[in-house]
A and B are shown apart, each in its own frame.
Chain A
Amino acid sequence: MKIHTRQWILAGLAITVSQVASAQTTLTIESWRNDDIGLWQEKIIPAFESEHPDIKVNFAPMAPTEYNAALNSKLDAGSAGDIITCRPFDASLALYEAGYLSDLSDMDAMDGFSDVAKSAWQTDDGSVTFCVPMASVIHGFIYNKDAFEEVGVEVPTTEEEFFAALQKFKENGNYIPMAMGTNDQWEAATMGYNNIGPNYWKGETGRRALIDGKQKLTDEVWVAPYATLAKWEPYLGDGYEAQTYPDSQNLFTLGRAAIYPAGSWEISGFNELADFEMGAFKPPVRQAGDTCFISDHTDIGIGMNAASENPEAAKTFLAWVGSPEFASIFGNALPGFFPLSDTPVELEDPLAKEIVGWREQCESTIRSTYQILSRGTPNLENETWGASVAAIKGTETPEELGAKLQEGLNSWYTPEN
């Protein structure tokens, strides 16, 4: 505690001194990653500031669920920070179209990213890029290695093995087979439906076909994942209906659950909390030998507030974010957020390394609902949350859910061809 106080006093002094010096520009970053505030303040910002002593950076995050709404209001009111952390696809596209984000297409740093990486922050025709891609997250399952050894369960690769493993944990009774709740809804959709789904709809093939109108949400490949989710229900903990996302995280890190349907962003938090060894397996395929597909979702980009008073400093910062140096700091400081730059980054964390290795073995895709399909009302992503929960609880059949979602989509979306 004493050290903390001293640090605060020093920080206070530093602020005072810098205000006296006052030749500095201060950049404020808007972000939803309040979990990462420590890493930004201890690693990323000092690295940048040591190279650019004339620019001060202030990382000002808020809660993920409030971010979009709060950011929109701040931009409307003209009180948003200089640097905007970009959600993928339409949320940011709308901001660009409304003139809140600057066009960054001609920045040199953009050349270091693949088209897939940039696609999440481009206009539909790909002519303008308005955010620098920062990181993607990969879905899969994180498991408790000790529990697997204790109960004698093999790491599953097919669906059949997966349910056999869950059944074994249930019979053993020492562990909750799978830590997931439906209270917050998004877990069921993001870590459930969009985690296992790509193996059904064959990744990009299915996702594109859905956007082009060649497939419907009532097709088998889109309905079957709901049927599989329904089979998860007996393996979730008691009272999973009221179990929240933090509850699930705690259940797993306390060693009370064996398997955690995950996004790779959990890694750094889990490393700190769990005192057992963790491993990861990719979403099980339907039949042995099938090609595997993973959700490698472009999740974070970073852009510039068009109304920023310090555009030069902001561009300097963004150029640095696009550099391999940042990718290496970021990738290792936040294992589980995988840099998108073309230059490969050597990751140190074993769990992160394992997960990012799936990129070599499987086909990557992004979450099915994010591009274009969540533009209208009803919002397909939000509807998918409810549908995934309903599937798990068994309140509606997979076919009914598919029909309902497609009907909602039809009400505002007509494929172009």
Chain B
Amino acid sequence: MHRTKFRWHIVIFLTPAALVYTAVMIFPLFNTLRLSFYNEVGQERLFVGLENFRTLFLDPIWSTQFWNALANNFRFFIIHMLVQNPIGVLLAAILSHPRLRCAALYRSAIFIPTILSFVIVGFAWKLILSPLWGIAPNMLDAIGLKSLFEPWLGKEAYALTTLALISVWQFVGIPMMLIYAALLTIPEEILEAAEIDGITGSSAFWKIRLPLILPALGIISILTFVGNFNAFDLIYVTQGALAGPDFSTDILGTFLYRTFFGFQLQLGDTYMGSAIAGAMFAIILLGVCVYLFGIQSRMRRYQL
């Protein structure tokens, strides 16, 4: 019998990446989860079990903030799903049209905001929308719609939607690219065969292309979900850590930041902060699981 030699080179090649990943991702993740079961009493760290989570979910002071942040986060996510992804699909469909000129130019132009820093995007939009110096009021004025202008970022009713749309503007390039790539993989023969059967134009899109890009849409949804529930930067840059006005733009990320690191006179609370981080982790994990087991495994795939 000839036993296969243990392939050491695999271990050697994997080790550096595994070590680095463990040190900067896995260890901090589990340490944060561990910290959420502790609290400081006096100057000592004590194990308190689920006490922090009980405070977070049941104490009125914490739970109103938590549920508010979670609800805002869902709104943020739903706006992305309703606006970003359909526009992404639409743009990809237009871009993949064979007779479109300068497709490469549009593709780059739409994708460029994605590679910009949040800070730039946040400040640029804050300036654009500024009621004092912004160009938005002037532009609306030029077409006689000045009355429609509102200081959107400063009003409880509009601020979160405005921020979500800014984020959509920034990231619409990603679903566009992924779907564009998926559309390009659809073989011409299938479309031709459909054409012979009399399916053309928009019905070709709905009946042939869309089912074939569904897996890509699934991936995009889950990326949006994870991205939105980890979002923080844009809100922090435009509205600050208090996520004003009156916490109407507070999402889990800003809530976590404020609690963990403190803000102004509020001192940082590592343990409650970790509890919030734990809750965020659980929410994201749950969402991903629902997708993986509930949706992806049932999705019909077509061999192209």
Residues of B within 8 A of A370 (CB): 265
Contact status A185-B244, CB under 8 Å: yes
- With A242-B129, A251-B132, A374-B265: A182-B154 Cβ-Cβ less than 8 Å: yes
Closest to B65 in A: A378
Closest to A393 in B: B245
User: CB of A389 within 8 A of chain B?
Assistant: yes
Looking at chain A, what size class is its interface with the partner chain? 35 or more
Contact status B246-A247, CB under 8 Å: no
Contact status A240-B265, CB under 8 Å: no
Contact status A183-B153, CB under 8 Å: yes
In Å, the complex CA distance between A369 and B265 comes to: 9
Contact status A242-B266, CB under 8 Å: no
User: CB of A386 within 8 A of chain B?
Assistant: yes
The minimal Cβ–Cβ distance linking B78 to chain A, given in whole angstroms, is: 24
Residues of A within 8 A of B21 (CB): none
Given contacts A183-B245, A239-B137, A247-B133, list 11 more A-B pairs with CB under 8 A: A68-B263, A72-B261, A182-B154, A183-B153, A183-B239, A239-B131, A241-B245, A242-B131, A244-B126, A377-B62, A395-B246
Interface string of B196-238 (1 = CB under 8 A from A): 0000000000000000000000000000000000000000000
Residues of B within 8 A of A94 (CB): 267
Residues of A within 8 A of B (CB): 65, 68-70, 72-73, 87, 89-91, 94, 97-98, 181-186, 237-244, 247, 250-251, 369-370, 374, 377-379, 381-382, 385-386, 389-390, 393, 395, 408, 411
The minimal Cβ–Cβ distance linking B275 to chain A, given in whole angstroms, is: 13
The minimal Cβ–Cβ distance linking B83 to chain A, given in whole angstroms, is: 22
Q: Can you identify 6 A-B contacts, CB atoms within 8 angstroms?
A: A97-B43, A241-B151, A242-B154, A247-B132, A251-B132, A379-B265
The minimal Cβ–Cβ distance linking A192 to chain B, given in whole angstroms, is: 15
In Å, the complex CA distance between A250 and B133 comes to: 10
A-B interface, 4 closest residue pairs, ranked by CB to CB distance from nearest? A239-B131, A241-B154, A242-B154, A242-B151
Of the candidates B154, B247, B264, the one whose C-beta lies within 8 Å of that of A181 is B154
User: CB of B256 within 8 A of chain A?
Assistant: no
User: CB of B86 within 8 A of chain A?
Assistant: no
The minimal Cβ–Cβ distance linking B71 to chain A, given in whole angstroms, is: 18
The minimal Cβ–Cβ distance linking B32 to chain A, given in whole angstroms, is: 14
Of the candidates B155, B264, B268, the one whose C-beta lies within 8 Å of that of A381 is B264
The minimal Cβ–Cβ distance linking A122 to chain B, given in whole angstroms, is: 17
Contact status A240-B151, CB under 8 Å: yes
In Å, the complex CA distance between A177 and B249 comes to: 30
The minimal Cβ–Cβ distance linking A182 to chain B, given in whole angstroms, is: 7
Residues of A within 8 A of B239 (CB): 183
- With A72-B262, A183-B154, A377-B61: A238-B267 Cβ-Cβ less than 8 Å: no
Contact status A185-B242, CB under 8 Å: yes
Contact status B155-A69, CB under 8 Å: no
User: CB of B152 within 8 A of chain A?
Assistant: yes
In Å, the complex CA distance between A98 and B40 comes to: 12
Closest to A98 in B: B43
Residues of B within 8 A of A89 (CB): 265
